[in-house]
A and B are shown apart, each in its own frame.
Chain A
């Protein structure tokens, strides 16, 4: 067999298993790290409840406060376009769904490829804009650490290699696809140990914030 094919088989086989294992164990460990710290009992008499307002904040924090949009339109716009484009490419692209069906035995309808392609392009453009913004905004510069650059690259590469593979821009195809899968494995391996983890922990953070505010009957 040719070398690109061997490479593809390797990334789809043993490499993927290792990455998936690290991802799952890592995420579980991180959840444990967070929840094992616990919370002190609160003895103040509540004005309102915690659970409901917490859940509400989980949803409402996805919407920016109008005043904030005026002050930081780029961050908000780029954030939306990137995340929506990413989700569309990830879960509504037919080959992704087929892979899922092969593995788990069920799937769901996807979007036509040209639409997914457009979403992916928008998402890539948004990521480039985000990078430019991170470099040029003084506030983001002062907050940015090496981890932020790493996380950006880990997110950008799967999008880019996916686009390249889909448009057959690298020959042979198995090499292009293999690179795409490899970049996803890199993402999976780093995910639990970097800010990528926010994709999960933001639900916890939002809930705590909403719950602590809900106790005082402040909508947050």
Chain B
């Protein structure tokens, strides 16, 4: 990255403004409804967290650069300029207090997609040097080491050895010609190796050919979280190169909402052309295997279970039915939270918030929303499909001294999988 300056930031803001952004800013009637959808407002009551307000710097650039009225106002000296001080002040609003969960985008009466604009505004923040240190560090590690948490290939290989020794399953690495390339998130590698084991078990049973890739194992993209298309492009390119080298037909996005958005929706646009392979979320694939009868489960749980929808999967990905179908495979006692599916509330740690130390206190505070939702269900066990949500929720529950076991949906499917030994 070249040196960050205010001028580069302003240019980045300008570059990000498109017809939807102009339509959104033109339409906002300052009604404040978006605040009611955002957990950072509902849990703090502080009006500064009103979603549309988080976009004030971008709005000013739009008005001053792309409207006649704004130009006239600037000539008359009536415009409020975007300054370094403003951007510094807005760092908290655009990073610490926004998970890009897109809940606000669902309620605005005039139809403004606020999360879409937050993603764009972050480009200007990075270019002007106003991104938080924690998120910066994560994206530097992603570029240099290959993972935002600094997980090296060696560490991945060590985990693979462990899993193989424990389970007797094989985990293929760099197998050319497999149908599926499995990506992981660092958090899964380090904190939840159960996920990889679950996949090995399910894929063996369903006879899915798959592989990991030594040059592209990380699915998350901190370039997108921080708002740097340059970094994001480099990280996506690694996956594209890896997939092409191994000649896979399909890339599987892991149990991580953000990774899915990153590779499925932003990826092709970052490299400027369609992918030569398909991208599916692991839950989409598992549901497909279920529907075609390639995997079956047994010994369903009777404990009551609820499901936390990762925002990026539902509102940004449309993966809404799949987890519900899969829940039906593992429990007879599934309880929905009151607001679920496309109306799910964020855990509070998405969009880079969980890797941003400045945001920690606020994140734990707004976790109250999820906590109350969980209490309301009265469920025994929480299931989710995102390693990041899972860690954030674990921390939140600890903070609020609430006991509730959390597990990943793929793991749970693997646990109840009917393993047909004769098929080997």
**A interface residues, Cβ below 8 angstroms from B:** 29-30, 33-40, 42-45, 47-48, 57-58, 61-62, 64-65, 67-68, 71-72, 75-76, 79, 134, 137-145, 148, 193, 195, 197-198, 201-202, 204-210, 212-213, 216-220
Contacts and interface: CB of A to CB of B under 8 A. Distances in A.
Contacts of A64: 107, 109
Contacts, number: 175
Contacts of A204: 19, 23, 27
Contacts of A44: 264-269, 274
- Chain B interface residue bracket vs A: 35 or more
B30 A145 contact: yes
Interface stretch (B66-74, B146-154, B384-392, B412-420): B66-74
A64 B109 CA distance: 7
Given A30-B26, A44-B264, A193-B69, A209 B32 contact: no
Nearest to B17: A37
What 3 pairs between A and B have smallest CB-CB spacing? A206-B111, A43-B268, A217-B318
Contacts of A208: 19-20, 23-24, 111, 113
Interface of B: 17-24, 26-33, 35-37, 41-42, 47-48, 50, 52-53, 66-69, 105-113, 116, 264-269, 271-275, 278-279, 314-318, 320, 339, 342-343
**B31, B108, B111 pick with most chain A CB within 10 angstroms:** B111
A1 B26 CA distance: 44
**A33, A71, A139, A207 pick with most chain B CB within 10 angstroms:** A139
A61 B27 CA distance: 13
A37 B21 contact: yes
B397 to A, nearest CB: 24
A72 B36 CA distance: 8
A61 B110 contact: yes
Given A34-B22, A43-B268, A216-B265, A139 B32 contact: yes
Nearest to A151: B29
A141 B31 CA distance: 10
A197 B268 CA distance: 35
A48 to B, nearest CB: 7
Contacts of A144: 30
A61 B111 contact: yes
Given A209-B105, A210-B111, A139 B47 contact: yes
A118 B151 CA distance: 69
B302 to A, nearest CB: 31
A209 B112 contact: yes
Nearest to B116: A212
A208 B114 CA distance: 12
B110 A37 contact: no
Nearest to A26: B68
8 contacts: A34-B22, A38-B18, A143-B32, A143-B50, A195-B30, A210-B111, A213-B315, A220-B315
Nearest to A78: B31
B266 A33 contact: no
Nearest to A36: B19
Contacts of A142: 47-48, 50, 53
A219 B32 CA distance: 22
Given A71-B42, A76-B33, 11 more contacts: A33-B68, A34-B22, A79-B109, A141-B47, A144-B30, A198-B29, A201-B23, A204-B19, A205-B23, A218-B342, A220-B315
A193 B166 CA distance: 68
